[in-house]
Structure 1
């Protein structure tokens, strides 16, 4: 299964044609699809990718996405926030929005709210999910390469706690534009492609789920 991941589009989409060259089975979007609800045509393009190009799209809203954006991605069936799906034997779990910021953006949560959003999402799966899922989240985990700013690390302690307790095979995140990276926490790969690039990863199931490399590709 080939996964391509993008984040922080902020309403821009013309450059996304490049991802088609990589023939993805699944496209994951780690939030901030729009810039405070403007440039909604990006959602029409995502619908095109899903319906005409046959790409399975799984997205979460970011802290800059409004209720109108959330409603629209619900209508085209790509919103994974607070939900999970099983695609080809791999669970995908979505946690949208971000931890609190100084900017009072539309879609922020306390750390407790983020953590229990995850717990409530996976409670019906049980232990089966451990080491067997991909987490799509806007907020990066705290104190990693994915959440560094000039002022320090500003990621979510709850997302880090989820990684430490549940060991997803991969975390696709965004939010911090300057922290483009591939990192690792325990056995979990963490990827923040930033708005400048997308990631490509081939994942397959043998006795266990194996990530066969991750590559960052500039737009």
Structure 2
């Protein structure tokens, strides 16, 4: 069986439509929405609303970890605008294109910038959404854990450590552990371009050590120090920043 795996799609619906070519199934590990493009400041919801110049300044502040200043800039820009309505309208437009691009079958979970309550509106037959749940593909048990952990970034789908750990525990033993964020290892959580550690999950790491899945697949860190490493017998793989590469990671078994 051949499974293609993508993560961090961030609005790339045209590449997503090709991602399942030659595969028996597509697995998507989230972050469909493009809110702010760190590579091209003219792209994304923030730039559409406030212009590339403000997007560049916002990226600069966040990259420098000057989060309070970033929040102040954001608050000034949003003053007088119904933020929830404006963002939801933009997200709906992106989801309409992205979910239409999913091949059949697709198995997907949420990223930290996704809005889970909107997914049932756009997921078509052939797209299965899983979070804290498992599915069997080609005789292997795949477990899915969506979202991220709470950070100063305040992205839409961040949950507490306890809630995240409960979702990991609900999976039990799996052959392929699929998540948006990586296990909490410095080699897998450090972004060499942003020059910061992203939050990884200790619950994922503990599950890997305890249950020893064949693979742990994830994304979230766009330019990791290590894209692939072993934890015991488990192959831990960052499947890549799909928006940048347009190429899925391939799992054959």
TM interval, shorter chain, is 0.7 to 0.9
Structure whose alpha-carbon radius of gyration is higher? 2
**Correspondence list, 1:2-13, <5 A:** 2-13=2-13
- TM-score, scaled to structure 2: 0.67
* C-alpha contact 2:227 2:237 (8 A) present in aligned 1: yes
The answer to whether residue 107 in structure 2 is matched with residue 58 in structure 1 is yes
Which of residues 213, 220, 234 in structure 2 aligns to 1:175? 220
Decide which structure has greater strand share.
Answer: 1
What is aligned with 2:197? 152
The answer to whether residue 42 in structure 2 is matched with residue 33 in structure 1 is no
CA RMSD of aligned residues (A): 2.1
Q: What number of residue pairs does the alignment pair up?
A: 187
Partner secondary structure for residue 165 of structure 1: helix
* C-alpha contact 1:29 1:136 (8 A) present in aligned 2: no
Gaps of 5+ in 2: 36-87
C-alpha distance in 2 between matches for 1:121 and 1:152: 27
Structure 1 stretches of 4+ with a deviation exceeding 6 A read: none
The answer to whether residue 132 in structure 2 is matched with residue 82 in structure 1 is yes
* C-alpha contact 1:5 1:199 (8 A) present in aligned 2: yes
| CA shift for structure 1 position 137 | 0.3
Which of residues 139, 144, 164 in structure 2 aligns to 1:114? 164
CA deviations over 1:120-164 (Å, ceiling 9, x no partner): 243xxxxxx3xx511110011111533112223531111111111
For residues 114 and 154 of structure 1, do their structure 2 counterparts lie closer, same or farther at Cα, with a shift above 3 Å needed? Answer: same
Gaps of 5+ in 1: 51-55, 123-128, 204-219
Which of residues 201, 206, 230 in structure 2 aligns to 1:184? 230
What is aligned with 1:45? 101
C-alpha distance in 2 between matches for 1:105 and 1:153: 13
Partner secondary structure for residue 222 of structure 2: coil
